[in-house]
Amino acid sequence: MSENPSISWYDDFLGVAYRYFDIRMNVVLMFNESKPTRDLWYETMHWWNDHTIKIRFIETGDDYWFVMGADSRRPDTNKYFYKILEKSANYERFKKGHQGSAYMRFGIYSRKTVDEVKNDALCDCGHRKDDHDVDSHSCLYEVCDCTNFDTFQLNILKKKKVVTNIKFLSEDDVKDDALAWNCLNRNKYSKND
């Protein structure tokens, strides 16, 4: 298979979240800042033809490559997305439960400090804010080694695309899939540095 050299690959995002929402599962690409993220949507996704959107998950041991691309009505500003991510419980849940389609959205990820959230907010350690020491902010559960309350919020943007072409692949399958092949060829196999 020959590589398509015109594809512009983009991996400048934080990761991918999987959420149940409006019946379908949602694949949420996470970013830091709102304005550039909305601009990116209008530059790229907005012009995608829904039925051409493909998502590939290429599993490589404990990690996987998230790869997404589509034909655009504005090919000059189009981008394809990829990111190497660690497998997670949410990823496995999505893999089992997606039933062949998903909504794809962007989301803004923000860390919250202890003063910015209510008492019932969950820390990354899984325990509530009021289970943490008021002064040191360390978790009061003896089994927990959390030393500082830390939590995040994901604000999922409303704009969405429907994706119905989703495949889970192993690295051996990559040569039979144009999108996966293009991504790994460019971003893995031909990287000499």
Residue ranges binding Zn ion (CB under 5 A): 123, 125, 127, 139, 141, 144, 146
Nearer to Zn ion, 153 or 170 (CB): 153
Smallest distance from Zn ion to CB 129, Å: 8
Smallest distance from Zn ion to CB 124, Å: 6
Nearer to Zn ion, 148 or 187 (CB): 148
Burial (Cβ within 10 Å: 0-12, 13-18, ≥19) of residue 65: buried
Smallest distance from Zn ion to CB 123, Å: 3
Contact between 114 and 137 under an 8 Å Cβ cutoff? The reply is yes
Q: Rg of the chain's alpha carbons, rounded to an integer?
A: 19
Q: And the tokens for 159?
A: 């704009």
Contact between 31 and 109 under an 8 Å Cβ cutoff? The reply is yes
Smallest distance from Zn ion to CB 75, Å: 47
Nearer to Zn ion, 79 or 128 (CB): 128
Burial (Cβ within 10 Å: 0-12, 13-18, ≥19) of residue 138: middle
Nearer to Zn ion, 60 or 138 (CB): 138
